[in-house]
Amino acid sequence: MFTGPNVRVDDGLLSPELRQRLIECVSWMPLYFLNRFERYKSHELDTLWYYPLAFTDEGFTVDVEPALNDLDASLAPVRECWEQLKTAVGRPVRLYEVMLSANAFGNEGRVHQDVADQARRGKHYTALVYVNREWKAEWCGETVFFDADNEISGAVLPKPGRVVIAAGDPPHAGRAVSRICPTDRRVLVFKFWDVS
C-alpha cells in the first residue's frame, strides 16, 4: 500500500462487529450541504456534505470528548470507535472535532491541511474511518496525501472499516468518486491533538 510518511493504515483496528455497527449507525445520518468558500477562502465550488457530531470553534484548547460521550445511545459505535483510536495512538490526546463527511459525484475534495497554524501541526492528528458498506476500486474516492514538493506521497482507497491515522497534518484531499459510483463516499473524521 502506498502510504507515505506519517500516515498509518489499519484494516484490523475495528472488530468486524464494531465495523458493522458503525456502518449501520452512520448510514442513516442526514447530511448538510456546506460551501466552504466563505470560511476557508478556497474556491466557490469547494463543497462538502457533512454531519457534525462534536466540534468546537476553539480547537486548540477545548476537548469535545464529553460532548461525544453525551450523544444519543444510538451513536454508541462512534464513541467506541474513538476509544479504539485513542488506544491505537497510544499517548494522551485531546479531541476537538468529530464529523461524518461525504463526497458524491461532482464534489471535488481540495488539497488542504486541517490546522492553519504551521507551528502547531506537529502535534496534530487526523483519523479517517471509512464507513461505506462496500467499495470498489473503479469508484475512485481515494484519500491522497502530499509531500513538501506537492507530490502525491500516499493514496488510500476507502475500504469499509479501514482506518487511516495521519500525524503532523500532512496536506491531503478526499478525491471525488467516479461517475459510475452508485453511492456517496462516507468518512467518519476525528481531529485531535497530542497533549503529551
What is the DSSP-derived secondary structure letter of residue 46? -
**Domain spans in the chain, listed from the N-terminal domain onward:** 7-194
The 10s digit of each residue's pLDDT in 130-154 is 999 999 999 999 999 999 899 999 9
Could you tell me the pTM of the whole model?
0.93
Single-letter residue type at 127: A
| 144 and 152 Cβ atoms separated by less than 8 Å | yes
pLDDT confidence of residue 120: 85
Q: Which residues contact 101 (CB under 8 A, 6 or more apart)?
A: 48, 49, 50, 174, 186, 187, 189
What would the pLDDT profile of 85-96 be if each residue is shown by its tens digit? Answer: 999 999 999 999
State the chain's mean pLDDT as an integer: 91
Under CATH, domain 7-194 is a member of which superfamily? q2cbj1_9rhob like domain (2.60.120.620)
Helices 76-89 and 16-27 pack at an angle, to 10 degrees, of 130
Q: Over the stretch 109-120, which tens digit does the pLDDT of each residue have?
A: 778 878 878 888
